[in-house]
Amino acid sequence: MQTRGISKKNFDRLPEVLARAGRTVIAPVRNGEVVAFAAVGPDTAICLDEINTRLSLKEFFFPRTEPLLTFRRTENGIEMSDPAPTQGETIVIGARGCDAAALPALDALFNWDFRDEAYNRRRENTTVISIACNDCDACCFCTSVGGSPHNTAGSDIMLSETRDGGYLVEILTQKGEALADELADLLSEAPGEALPYAEVPVKFDAQKVRRALEENFDSPLWAELARTCLSCGCCTYVCPNCHCFDMQDEAGKSGGARIRMWDSCQFPLFTKHTSGHNPRPTQASRWRQRIQHKFNYYPQKFDCVSCVGCGRCIRLCPVGIDISEHLARIENEAPERPADHPNDNY
């Protein structure tokens, strides 16, 4: 890994220097109270002083809605086509380490056995320059899920703010190297000293939580934890790791598209069978699914938790549900496996 430095002045020139036909530069931009990722140009102010963007980086790899195929009705029947790539070369500036760290976890899902072409194309076309955190809020819990304010997983380049107002530049991957070569004139060989990283308190032990989850599928805790949940699905939409989707056709007389869109395991219809039978008929069972999937099933299947501790689901939950608090309660309060555990019988 190579390390360089970049001055604040040169950093501010990045959108201008990186601008090139066919390339999109994405960075956090303030719009009123909301800081969100948006395409930036030479005159856009990049906002790096927010704890995190309102929505995660996920949608630039796995869009909220996208056509999976398009079709036209012709005299000879249906003519199908693969949708043209909607996103060319992309450079993300200023993602938090947690958002970037969600990408390797999504890679596992979109590549096991069947490779999802559209997702992988966007991953290959995108270089992620993330920024380490010097500050956190009460909702951050990256350190409880194997991350840190300086988590380099999934990033191609990581920046850390230095005492002189510039940034330390850690070049982490080949894509990062290629970009650093392009920016060589802006980078210095002698980076300044990085400011101390944020101290994010550890709120639970993910290993212990996983064991507790394995033992407590039927715990009475679930009903209590989900009591105030509205089943609105907000947590899943703002989550950088949640990947569930629906597929629907949208068409007119001449043709249309088969599209996929984000969906949520928190919606009652998500699992409802045609017959009317619903394997998860209560909000307690759906909230349990979200937690079990992220902290028990996903680690079993893909060897990583499906959570990076970004805290968005906590910040934006309309009834103030704090998943980190729930996980701590599961770790500490979930009962030991009883002898006549229902799963022993069916």
Partner 1 sequence: MNAKNESGGNIYRPYMMRVVDIRDEAPGVRTLRLEFLDEAQAAAFRFEAGQFGLYSIFGEGECAFCIASPPTRRGYIECTFREAGRVTRALMRVEIGETIGFRGPYGNVFPVDEWRGRNLLFVAGGIALPPMRCVIWNCLDRREEFGDVTIVYGARTVDDLVYKHELKEWAERPDVNLITTVDPGGETPDWRGKVGFVPTVLDQAGVSPDNAVAVVCGPPIMIKFTIPVLEKAGFAPQNIYTTLENRMKCGLGKCGRCNVGAVYVCKEGPVFRLDELRALPDEY
Interaction site with partner 1 (CB under 8 A): 68-69, 71, 73, 77-78, 80, 82, 109-110, 112-117, 217, 243-249, 251, 256, 258, 260, 263, 265, 270-275, 277, 279-280, 285, 289, 292-293, 296-297, 300-301, 342-343, 345-346
Beta strands in the chain (DSSP E): 2-6, 23-31, 34-39, 65-74, 77-81, 89-96, 126-131, 157-161, 167-171, 187-188, 245-251, 255-262
Kindly report the three-state secondary structure assignment for every residue of 154-210: CCCEEEEEECCCCEEEEECCHHHHHHHHHCHHHEECCCCCECCCCCCCCCCCHHHHH
Q: How far is the CB of 297 from partner 1 (least distance, A)?
A: 5
Q: How far is the CB of 209 from partner 1 (least distance, A)?
A: 16
Distance CA 173, CA 156 (A): 5
Report the amino acid identity of residue 157.
I
Q: How far is the CB of 247 from partner 1 (least distance, A)?
A: 5
Q: How far is the CB of 99 from partner 1 (least distance, A)?
A: 20
Closer residue to partner 1 (CB): 112 or 201: 112
Cβ-contact 289, 280 below 8 angstroms: yes
Distance CA 110, CA 113 (A): 9
Closer residue to partner 1 (CB): 132 or 308: 308
Closer residue to partner 1 (CB): 201 or 335: 335
**Ramachandran region, residue 268 (left: φ > 0; alpha: ψ -120 to 50; beta: rest):** alpha
Closer residue to partner 1 (CB): 23 or 341: 341
Closer residue to partner 1 (CB): 199 or 273: 273
Q: How far is the CB of 262 from partner 1 (least distance, A)?
A: 10
Q: How far is the CB of 269 from partner 1 (least distance, A)?
A: 9
Cβ-contact 28, 57 below 8 angstroms: no
Q: How far is the CB of 77 from partner 1 (least distance, A)?
A: 5
Cα dihedral 132, 138, 139, 145 sign: positive
Closer residue to partner 1 (CB): 20 or 301: 301
Give the 3-state secondary structure of residue 345: coil
Closer residue to partner 1 (CB): 178 or 247: 247
